[in-house]
A and B are shown apart, each in its own frame.
Chain A
């Protein structure tokens, strides 16, 4: 599990938006890791495509929590970002479900919408941060 975790972290941190990124991330963790990564998220798969959006969503929540603790944003902003993030997660999960059901059009539309939401949330956080 520790090896798989290392691969997960490497893939997530690299964003794995492309074949090159995925392989670069996994190679740095050792030869066995490449096999694990291929099993976890096949290169070029829809899962590899949406993983950076999940990562962006996680970082948006974490950064919002930290800035709230630091007093750099107000509670209302944190609540608004939490609401945006919740909606984005729903759309993102539906994109994955649609892909697994073979509904490519819905999967792509939701993946694009979710990615745009994360960008919007990040911009909102920056605009309202002291």
Chain B
């Protein structure tokens, strides 16, 4: 994993934690956090596809 990828993953997990905070959850499970991070990554890839004219 490159440093850039590590930062991107950390950012995705931060988004998952923010969402948990917003929902009033004091804790978030590892799998649920990773699922939320994947949801963010999926949306980002979809946006890149759209930008590329797909």
Contact = CB atoms under 8 A, between A and B. Distances in A.
Contact residues on B (Cβ < 8 Å of other chain), bracket: 35 or more
A55 B34 contact: yes
Given A54-B31, A78-B52, A85 B42 contact: yes
A61 interface: yes
A4 B17 contact: yes
Contacts, number: 121
A11 interface: yes
Nearest to A53: B34
A96 B51 CA distance: 34
Contacts of B21: 1
Interface string B18-54: 0011000011111101110110011011111101111
Interface string A79-90: 101100110010
The CB with the most chain A CB atoms within 10 A, among B13, B14, B35, B47, is that of: B13
Where chain B touches its partner, the secondary structure class is helix
Interface of A: 1-2, 4-5, 8-9, 11-13, 39-41, 47-48, 50-51, 54-55, 57-59, 61-66, 68-69, 75, 78-79, 81-82, 85-86, 89, 93, 96
Given A4-B28, A85-B45, A96-B31, 13 more contacts: A5-B13, A9-B13, A13-B1, A13-B10, A40-B29, A50-B31, A59-B8, A61-B42, A66-B4, A69-B52, A75-B52, A78-B49, A78-B54
13 contacts: A1-B27, A8-B28, A8-B30, A13-B9, A48-B30, A58-B38, A58-B41, A59-B5, A68-B48, A75-B53, A78-B48, A78-B49, A78-B52
